[in-house]
């Protein structure tokens, strides 16, 4: 189905919509009802039971390349706000309600395209998982129309350009700044106080040896 300039395909079960979308054209999107091998960042798994939203959009690249994961959080925030659920964001890609993750974003560059993967817990129950998570059904007490939310997000995607004041919008929803954080990167753990997020998406952590920009990692509040 076509929504503006985006072509949306809806399928049943896939491994990962981001992996499937790697061969798709720019301005196409894939929505799956469940994923058997849903992926997070840094080789994490994304719990992808039926009832959740698993969407990948293939888009042209941005400058800086990291912008998409912040932009996608702004898109998800707006879509969930339309449904009466207000979220906050934690660097780099966590979308939270009361410190529990309701959605996550995986943005991957493939040549001249970016695959922006969005997972939202909608009607799937995630409250008994080993990680702190929540879902729309738990928040609203109602079953939501997953495909309708995906269509709405694709409209918002075309409404909010991935440029300009995206980082401002992201910062205004952020609960990261001012917190004591511990960021696990591929090379070690950086602990200190989060003092800001740069326009290229780097988290600025004030440590004992000064302010360090961190470009990738898993951030926990301590
Ligand atoms: C993410 O990774 O948050 C990115 C998630 C992106 C999922 C979408 S679904 C469509 C597209 N296709 C894919 O294969 N992926 C994308 P990260 O920041 O690494 O967070 C992963 C961590 O979140 C895990 O290690 C768990 O602790 C937690 N987690 C896993 N599944 C979850 C879920 N359903 N809800 C909340 N937290 C979850």
- Residue whose CA is closest, atom 9 of ligand 1? 119
Same domain, 36 and 66: yes
Please tell me the predicted confidence (pLDDT) of residue 65: 80
- Ligand 1: lining residues by beta carbon, under 6 Å: 16-18, 35, 38-42, 44, 46-47, 54-56, 93, 101, 104-106, 117-119, 121, 126, 131, 133
Please tell me the predicted confidence (pLDDT) of residue 32: 98
Ligand 1, closest atom to CA 52? 34
Please tell me the predicted confidence (pLDDT) of residue 26: 95
Say how far apart CA 84 and CA 82 lie, in whole Å. Answer: 6
Judge contact between 18 and 117, C-beta under 8 A. yes
Per-residue pLDDT 10s for the chain (222 aa) are 999 999 999 999 999 999 999 999 999 999 999 999 999 998 899 999 999 999 999 999 988 888 899 999 999 999 999 999 999 999 999 999 999 999 999 999 988 899 999 999 999 999 899 999 999 999 999 999 999 999 999 999 998 888 878 999 999 999 999 999 999 998 999 999 999 999 989 999 999 999 999 999 999 999
Neighbours of 4 (CB within 10 A): 11
Ligand 1, closest atom to CA 48? 34
Same domain, 52 and 121: yes
Please tell me the predicted confidence (pLDDT) of residue 164: 79
Please tell me the predicted confidence (pLDDT) of residue 160: 84
CATH of the domain at 187: 2.30.30.100
Same domain, 128 and 217: no
Beta carbons within 8 Å of 78's beta carbon, 6+ residues apart: 156, 160
Ligand 1, closest atom to CA 100? 36
Which of residues 135, 152, 173 is at a domain's end?
A: 173
Say how far apart CA 173 and CA 86 lie, in whole Å. Answer: 9
Residue in 119, 134, 153 to alter for ligand 1 test, most ligand atoms within 8 A of Cβ: 119
Buried b (16+ CB within 10 A) or exposed e, 68-82: bbbbbbbbbbbbbee
Same domain, 42 and 133: yes
Residue in 104, 120, 124, 132 to alter for ligand 1 test, most ligand atoms within 8 A of Cβ: 104
Same domain, 189 and 124: no
pTM for this structure?
Answer: 0.95
Same domain, 123 and 45: yes
Distance from the CA of 63 to the center of ligand 1, in angstroms? Answer: 24
Give the domain range for residue 206: 180-221
Instruction: Give the number of domains in the chain.
Output: 2
Same domain, 116 and 194: no
CATH of the domain at 44: 3.30.930.10
């Amino acid at each position: 189905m076509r929504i503006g300039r985006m072509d949306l395909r809806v399928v049943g079960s896939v491994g990962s919509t981001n992996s499937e979308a790697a061969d798709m054209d720019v301005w196409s999107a894939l929505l799956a009802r469940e994923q058997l091998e849903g992926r997070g960042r840094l080789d994490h798994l994304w719990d992808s039971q039926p009832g959740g939203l698993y969407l990948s959009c293939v888009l042209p690249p941005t400058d800086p390349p990291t912008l998409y994961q912040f932009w996608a959080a702004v898109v998800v925030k707006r879509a969930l706000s339309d449904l009466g659920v207000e979220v906050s964001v934690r660097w780099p890609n966590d979308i939270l309600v009361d410190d529990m993750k309701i959605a996550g974003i995986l943005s991957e560059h493939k040549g001249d395209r970016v695959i922006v993967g969005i997972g939202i817990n909608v009607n799937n129950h995630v409250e008994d998982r080993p990680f702190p998570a929540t879902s729309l059904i738990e928040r609203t007490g109602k079953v939501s129309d997953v495909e309708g939310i995906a269509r709405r997000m694709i409209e918002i995607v075309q409404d909010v350009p991935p440029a300009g004041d995206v980082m401002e919008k992201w910062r205004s929803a952020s609960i990261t700044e001012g917190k004591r954080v511990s960021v696990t990167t591929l090379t070690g753990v950086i602990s200190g106080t989060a003092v800001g997020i740069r326009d290229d998406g780097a988290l600025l952590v004030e440590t004992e040896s000064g302010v360090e920009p961190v470009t990738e990692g898993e951030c926990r509040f301590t």
